[in-house]
A = this chain, B = another copy of it.
Amino acid sequence: MSKNIKVWCLSAVAAMMVFALLFTATAGNRQVSAGQDNGYHGKPAKYVFYFIGDGMGMPQINATEIFKGVQSSNDPMYSEKLNFAAFPYLGMQTTQAADTFITDSAAAGTALASGYKTNSAFLNVDPTKRVKYQSMAELAKAKGMKVGIVSSVSLDHATPAAFYAHQPHRNNFYEIALELTDSGFDYFGGGGLLAPTGKKKDQPDALAIAAQKGYKVVNSHNEILNLGQQDGKVIAIQPGLAGEQAMQYEVDRTSQLSLADFTRKGIELLDNPNGFFMMVEGGKIDWASHANDAVTTIRDVAAMEDAVAEALKFYAKHPDETLIVVTGDHETGGMTIGFAGTEYKTAFGKMAQQKISFEDFDKKIKTYRETVGAHGANLSDWLPVLAADYGLVDLTAYDRERLSAALNASMLDKKQRSKDEHSYLLYGTYEPFSVTVTHILNQKAGIGWTTYAHTGVAIPVFARGVGGEAFQGYYDNTDVAKKMINIMGLTQ
């Protein structure tokens, strides 16, 4: 090593140490919050609902409108406008993160909750990870409003976490859970926690810590339904959750509580003379669109519409004090109403018989794989199942070819499956047979998909009530938060 290089290396190491010290010294010491004078100078909104359909772009909304029309009318050209799409005020928000045009839910959640751009995967910290952002929920709590956070996915997932957590990575689930217990928010409802005892399962249980900090933690149907204001701060977790700690897809839901149930309970618990802020996330719209499963997507959009209906009932009683904002954080799947094979035709009625999400269908495939082994699959075994679960009957030769290839791929152990470019385009990381079934069904209905990830198109914002007119126009996702912070009178 020459002397010059040695000097350079030492200097570099020294610089890195200074940087590291500086980072340690400043990280978390600076907290900022955003507001915007958007022309609203009226009385602050007292009751604020913020509905976020994760992955819900205009295609997901329009597809739900056409699907609901098919279900509720004999008129093939009837489409039923969603309750929030009929709100008087509409805007469009751009969604890019600080580092990518296609955002993830953490950067988008930070923008929507706190009004700042950051990198994908970051939660309420700036791209240098030195500055923490305060969300509108934190500001509302500080002002004396009650605060509720509801999600159909786990409560520590990126979108709900963006309202109370500040982490350099969205996957810091234990740290996020600890921030939840410190939030002092009044109501958490819906999914559970992904790592309540940490990554190594060696930490004190976050729900026990929450209980110590005064939270009533309930996770039975009746306990949740019986919650009242006398219970104080509560964490209400849907009973019987599986590994992902998320609520069921609406299409699979039987007697379990719905997103609307959790929203109605939230209103009951939060209603008080100082007002409240409640964020409700339809989190699995995104998951269903990642999997390119249109009906499961649509049914979850409809479930969010049902939750919005609860807010509208409250709004009807307090029209002059309530603001409802409904938006998405990004589009997922590159969903389009239109597909090459169907050209100008749609036939959403063909999707009306789907009774099962891709996730529940995956379980059937797993059972079959365990029964017949890697080379025992026969598409004809599945034809009655496809008819029963999806109403999928009119298969072309090309459909059968695609289905057989996918079924064979699904019979292999995941490690044995082809990882080549073509296979990835066909199936992503999903169960090949499952995603091929929904692709074919969706395509026959006239729906196309381009990706298993998110897309970068602008997203609609619908608003009703106090200050709602401020949400008109074409602006950035950070502006949604700035407008809300201003209308809630939280500008610092």
Contact code string A59-85 (vs B, CB < 8 Å = 1, else 0): 100100010000000000101000001
Task: Of the listed stretches A185-193, A334-342, A356-364, name the one at the interface; the rest are far from the partner chain.
Answer: A334-342
Task: Of the listed stretches A28-36, A209-217, A253-261, A343-351, name the one at the interface; the rest are far from the partner chain.
Answer: A343-351
Task: Of the listed stretches A13-21, A90-98, A194-202, A376-384, name the one at the interface; the rest are far from the partner chain.
Answer: A90-98
Is B58 within 8 A of A92, CB to CB? yes
CA distance A397 to B421 in the complex (A): 9
A458 interface residue per 8 A CB criterion = yes
Is A338 within 8 A of B453, CB to CB? yes
* Chain B residues positioned under 8 Å from A148 (CB to CB): none
Is A454 within 8 A of B338, CB to CB? yes
CA distance A304 to B177 in the complex (A): 51
A396 interface residue per 8 A CB criterion = yes
Q: Nearest Cβ in chain B — how far from A165, in angstroms?
A: 21
CA distance A473 to B79 in the complex (A): 18
Q: Nearest Cβ in chain B — how far from A120, in angstroms?
A: 7
Whose C-beta in chain B lies nearest to the C-beta of A61? B458
* Chain B residues positioned under 8 Å from A91 (CB to CB): 90
Contact code string A354-395 (vs B, CB < 8 Å = 1, else 0): 000000000000000000000000000000000000000000
Is A88 within 8 A of B454, CB to CB? no
A413 interface residue per 8 A CB criterion = no
Is A450 within 8 A of B338, CB to CB? yes
Is A96 within 8 A of B120, CB to CB? no
Is B337 within 8 A of A101, CB to CB? yes
* Chain B residues positioned under 8 Å from A104 (CB to CB): 344
* Chain B residues positioned under 8 Å from A88 (CB to CB): 473
* Chain B residues positioned under 8 Å from A92 (CB to CB): 58, 90, 92, 460
Q: A77-B96, A92-B460, A456-B62 are in contact. Are A336 and B338 (CB under 8 A)?
A: no
Whose C-beta in chain B lies nearest to the C-beta of A450? B448
* Chain B residues positioned under 8 Å from A334 (CB to CB): 334, 336, 338-339, 448, 450
* Chain B residues positioned under 8 Å from A449 (CB to CB): 450
Is A422 within 8 A of B398, CB to CB? yes
Q: Provide 24 A-B residue pairs closer than 8 Å at the C-beta atoms, listed in order of the A residue.
A: A58-B58, A58-B92, A58-B458, A59-B457, A66-B456, A77-B96, A85-B474, A92-B460, A100-B345, A336-B457, A337-B455, A338-B450, A338-B456, A340-B424, A340-B428, A340-B450, A340-B452, A341-B421, A341-B424, A341-B425, A398-B421, A398-B422, A462-B474, A472-B472
- Please list the residues of chain A having a beta carbon within 8 angstroms of any beta carbon in chain B: 58-59, 62, 66, 77, 79, 85-86, 88-92, 94, 96, 98-102, 104, 120, 331, 334, 336-341, 343-346, 396-398, 420-422, 424-425, 428, 446, 448-458, 460, 462, 472-474
Kindly list the 6 A-B residue pairs having the minimum CB-CB distance in the complex, ordered from nearest.
Answer: A448-B450, A338-B455, A334-B336, A337-B456, A398-B421, A343-B453
Q: A90-B472, A100-B345 are in contact. List 18 more A-B contacts (CB 8 A).
A: A58-B458, A62-B458, A77-B96, A90-B90, A90-B91, A102-B343, A120-B344, A331-B338, A336-B451, A337-B455, A338-B456, A340-B451, A341-B421, A341-B424, A397-B421, A398-B420, A448-B451, A450-B450
